[in-house]
């Protein structure tokens, strides 16, 4: 079919969906389920799994028609880990049964997901993780501790990597699982941040039994599966679609326009520089999403995530300086368990404090610099003396 016919088919299906399920009289969840079944959830996914096997670029055709009709969305910020990380991994490595079971309630938002990857002793060096999964018949018994787990207090499911063979080098003895967060032995504890909130957690796994049917990919091949998750994570964090002056640059630009008494020559020049860099990053993100049409995300997503973290921190720092004493105010340092991270709907002090985590979450900036250097620029890899050493023999 020609691209025009593809677009016409998407429009036809969208209009049929709206006619059969008018948004004004259809419940939100029922509408989203019908949209998934019509193949309009993510059009580039296979038929029967929320898609039409269509080019990814045609998603905007369906989205525009649905938005114009006042159709509800699936609250993507609330289920971002499921959409941006779990779904592409399940699609790439899951069995047919796993895809049918998990993708529809994930996209509709009936089931929230979290990520059980990082550990207290294996953050930047994720492959050094120590959480163990031991086979017991048709189940795996998991023991260990995970940390920095966003949304664990809300999640029904988690993507989990654990060590299944300590006799192999650290990248080889890992397997990838889907963990039910409601199972016995899963304990979630809040981690209070510098903002006063606890949006993420530490998770303790004690004798948690995971059926082998919830394993993604072959035993011992979990690092390959996890790399798919991580590449998609970095794109979802650093390459999300935003309008001009979206994100952190928006509030400081509005303050500059509306509060001329705060302006100085120094902050003027710095704001201009950061505005241009933010716009370059936004346009680069658009190009990256166009490249995704041809295949899976690559290491370029690491560069976008690097830029996202640096810009957020520099912009929020400028905003606090621009506001002077007012920028030191902090609205409400209260222990809450938020469902969403709201970067732009809060005060400048919150943005300044919360942005400090941007260079850690989704892969530390130091690790991402290595990825860009080696896989984008082709520079020599750093020496890795532990690459071929059995995990059990590594010093910890």
DSSP 203: E
Alpha carbons 92 and 77: distance in angstroms, whole number: 22
Q: List, in sequence order, every beta strand (DSSP E) within the chain.
A: 113-116, 132-136, 139-150, 157-163, 174-180, 186-191, 200-211, 215-216
- Residue 195 included in any domain: no
Mean pLDDT of the chain: 89
Q: Mind listing the pLDDT tens digit for each residue in 115-169?
A: 999 999 887 789 999 999 999 999 999 999 999 999 999 999 999 999 999 999 9
Ramachandran quadrant class, 73 (left: phi over 0; alpha: psi -120 to 50; beta: rest): beta
- Residue 64 included in any domain: yes
Contact 232, 85 (CB under 8 A): yes
Of residues 289 and 214, more confidence is placed in: 214
Place of tokens 């892969």: 363
Domain end: 36, 68, 100, which one? 68
pLDDT of residue 293: 56
Q: Say if residue 340's pLDDT is above 50.
A: yes
Q: Say if residue 238's pLDDT is above 60.
A: no
Kindly report the CA angle at 215 between 213 and 220, in degrees rounded to 5? 135
- Residue 303 included in any domain: yes
Q: Say if residue 12's pLDDT is above 70.
A: yes
DSSP 375: I
Place of tokens 């984008």: 376
SS3 93: helix
Q: 233 an active-site residue?
A: yes
For residue 52, give its domain range.
Answer: 3-68
Contact 112, 155 (CB under 8 A): yes
**In the chain, what percentage of residues exceed pLDDT 70?**
93
**In the chain, what percentage of residues exceed pLDDT 90?**
65
DSSP 219: T
Domain end: 46, 68, 90, which one? 68
Q: Say if residue 239's pLDDT is above 80.
A: no
Number of independent structural domains in the chain = 2
pLDDT of residue 167: 97
- Residue 148 included in any domain: no
Classify strands 200-211 and 174-180 as parallel, antiparallel or unpaired: unpaired
- Residue 152 included in any domain: no
Between 3-7, 168-172, 335-339, 377-381, the lowest mean confidence (pLDDT) is in: 3-7
Contact 47, 13 (CB under 8 A): no
- Residue 36 included in any domain: yes
Alpha carbons 105 and 119: distance in angstroms, whole number: 28
pLDDT of residue 234: 62
Domain of residue 270, CATH code = 1.20.140.10
Write a three-state SS string for 227-266: HHHHHHHHHHHHCCCCCCCCCCHHHHHHHHHHCHHHCCHH
Distance of CA 180 to the CA centre of its chain: 19
Most confident range, picked from 1-15, 90-104, 367-381: 90-104
Q: Say if residue 296's pLDDT is above 70.
A: no
pTM (2 decimals)? 0.88
pLDDT of residue 4: 40
Domain end: 14, 43, 68, which one? 68
- Confidence bin at 101 (pLDDT 50/70/90): very high
- Residue 95 included in any domain: no
Q: Say if residue 32's pLDDT is above 60.
A: yes
- Residue 42 included in any domain: yes
SS3 128: helix
Decide: residue 198, CB within 10 A, 0-12 exposed, 13-18 middle, 19+ buried: middle
Instruction: Tell me which of 233, 245, 261, 314 is the catalytic residue.
Output: 233
Alpha carbons 325 and 376: distance in angstroms, whole number: 43
């Amino acid at each position: 079919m020609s691209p025009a016919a593809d677009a016409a088919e998407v429009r036809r299906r969208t209009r049929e969906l709206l006619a059969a399920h008018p948004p004004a009289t259809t419940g939100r969840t029922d509408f989203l389920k019908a949209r998934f079944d019509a193949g309009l959830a993510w059009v580039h996914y296979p038929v029967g799994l929320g898609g039409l096997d269509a080019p990814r670029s045609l998603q905007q055709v369906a989205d525009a028609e649905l938005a114009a009709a006042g159709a509800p969305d699936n609250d993507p910020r609330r289920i971002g880990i499921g959409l941006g990380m779990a779904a592409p991994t399940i699609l790439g490595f899951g069995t047919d049964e796993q895809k049918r079971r998990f993708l529809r309630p994930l996209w509709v938002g009936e089931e929230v997901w979290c990520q059980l990857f990082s550990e207290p002793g294996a953050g930047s060096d994720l492959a050094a993780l120590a959480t163990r999964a031991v086979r017991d018949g048709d189940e795996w018994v998991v023991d260990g501790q995970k940390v920095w787990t966003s949304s664990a207090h809300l999640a029904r499911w988690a993507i989990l990597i654990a060590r299944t063979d300590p006799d192999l080098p650290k990248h080889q003895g890992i397997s990838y699982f889907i963990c039910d967060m409601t199972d016995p032995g899963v304990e979630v504890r809040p981690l209070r941040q510098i903002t006063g909130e606890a949006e993420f957690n530490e998770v303790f796994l004690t004798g948690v039994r995971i059926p082998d049917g919830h394993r993604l990919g072959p035993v011992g091949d979990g690092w390959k599966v996890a790399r798919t998750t991580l590449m998609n994570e970095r794109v979802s964090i650093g390459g999300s679609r935003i309008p001009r002056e979206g994100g952190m640059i928006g509030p400081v630009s509005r303050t500059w326009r509306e509060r001329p008494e705060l302006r100085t020559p120094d902050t003027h020049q710095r704001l201009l520089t950061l505005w241009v860099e933010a716009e370059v990053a936004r346009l680069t993100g658009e190009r990256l999403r166009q490249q995704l049409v041809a295949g899976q995300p690559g290491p370029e997503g690491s560069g976008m995530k690097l830029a996202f973290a640096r810009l957020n921190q520099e912009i929020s720092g400028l905003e606090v300086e621009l506001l002077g004493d007012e920028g030191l105010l902090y609205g409400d340092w209260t222990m809450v368990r938020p469902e969403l991270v709201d970067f732009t709907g809060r005060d400048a002090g919150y943005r300044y404090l919360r942005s400090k985590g941007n260079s850690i979450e989704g892969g530390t900036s130091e690790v991402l610099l290595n990825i860009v250097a080696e896989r984008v620029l082709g520079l020599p890899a750093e020496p890795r003396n532990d690459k071929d050493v059995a995990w059990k023999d590594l010093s910890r």
